[in-house]
Copies of this chain bind each other. A is one copy, B any other.
Amino acid sequence: MAGNSFGEVFRLTTFGESHGDGVGVVIDGCPPRIGLSPKDFVRDMARRRPGRNSIVTPRSEEDRVEILSGVFEGLSTGTPITLFIRNRNVDSRPYEILRQLFRPGHGDYTYFKKYGHFDFRGGGRYSARETAARVAAGVVAGKILEPSGVKVMAYTIELGGIRAGSIDLEFAEENPFYCPDPIAAERMERALAKAREDSDSLGGIAEVRVTGCPAGLGEPVFDKLDADLAKAVMSIGAVKGVEIGAGFEAARHKGSENNDPITPNGFQRNRAGGILGGISNGDEIILKAAVKPVPSIGQQQDTVDREGRPAKLKLTGRFDISPLPRIVPVLEAMVRIVLADHYLRSRTMK
């Protein structure tokens, strides 16, 4: 009801604020006897960590995941798994200005309109910090999917208008932008450096591919697999657009071009992005997310204060230049969460 839970069977509730004690998640519905230990979270939390490269805030977050409940002697028990990630070295003083002024492009204005009272420090509840809890939950979701061979991988196909021209998934893992194209990666780096000089920020597009997903996941009508994926992806702060398979290009295709012919060996092409009638068809699931530039920029901007009076705001400090590399593991996490949920849901229909 109040929007902090997601999923039906594999159901998570995140909590916490950017400058409070920490952020966390309670996962209810994880089956028992799944191996889980704090070290399982290290890789994904590191992938999301700011300071991982030059384009994201170098705030030193350890992002160590504590398992507060639901795991006994290394195995899940079927009861709620609580994961908590403490905030460290948080200095809230720079945010005092937000007690009065709304940052353009952020949720300050709407939170004030909705709640009247909110924790504005560093974005509080609507900070990207909340996604740390999602990434942690995504690790558990991944454990559920693992035995079925489902693999989820995201990468940056566009940043600051620079498009990846080739897809090398191994390279994507190795470079700080999760860009699958070495040449584009270099150009992205330069574009980010330029944006930093200009006190500006950049957006981009990420793509997610799911391999090994069995046919039959997804519910008809409202909880279509693509509908739930669209919600999951759009629920990430900076995302402004979602495409499944051919996406907006499908709008320009003819039916004869857009239908994927079926053969005894599977589909002849994959314009559908692996989903038909809201249900996975066994082919690769492909989706794209459009990510807006980080709204926190060093340039002076017009805004108003809480009383509606005009004001100028110039943010100081160090901000991410683009949400993109950090959003990549969050996208992977959300897609895993949706798939784990639908995987467990599908068992009720056998």
State the A residues within 8 Å of B (CB): 1-6, 8-9, 11, 13-17, 20-24, 26, 28-33, 66, 68-70, 72-73, 75-82, 84, 102, 104-111, 113-119, 124-126, 130, 158, 160-161, 195, 198, 200-205, 215-216, 218-224, 226-235, 237, 240-256, 258-264, 268, 272-273, 275-282, 290-297, 299, 301-304, 308-310, 344-350
Contacts and interface: CB of A to CB of B under 8 A. Distances in A.
Contacts of A344: 348
Contacts of A345: 1, 348
Nearest to A229: B234
B16 A13 contact: no
29 contacts: A1-B345, A4-B26, A13-B28, A16-B68, A20-B69, A33-B116, A78-B114, A79-B124, A105-B259, A106-B277, A107-B276, A107-B278, A108-B277, A114-B216, A198-B254, A201-B254, A203-B253, A222-B231, A226-B234, A226-B240, A227-B234, A230-B230, A234-B242, A240-B251, A248-B248, A255-B294, A255-B297, A259-B295, A261-B303
A308 B264 contact: yes
A347 B222 CA distance: 22
Contact of A240 (B84, B161, B203, B273): B273
Contacts of A310: 263-264
Contact of A348 (B69, B301, B302, B347): B347
Nearest to A240: B250
Given A29-B349, A107-B278, 9 more contacts: A13-B13, A16-B80, A32-B115, A72-B117, A109-B276, A110-B218, A113-B282, A247-B290, A250-B293
B2 A205 contact: no
Name the residue among A219, A291, A308 with the largest chain B CB count within 10 angstroms: A219
A105 B224 CA distance: 15
A92 to B, nearest CB: 11
A102 B77 CA distance: 17
Given A234-B244, A251-B291, A256-B297, A28 B2 contact: yes
A28 B5 contact: yes
Contacts of A302: 261-263, 268
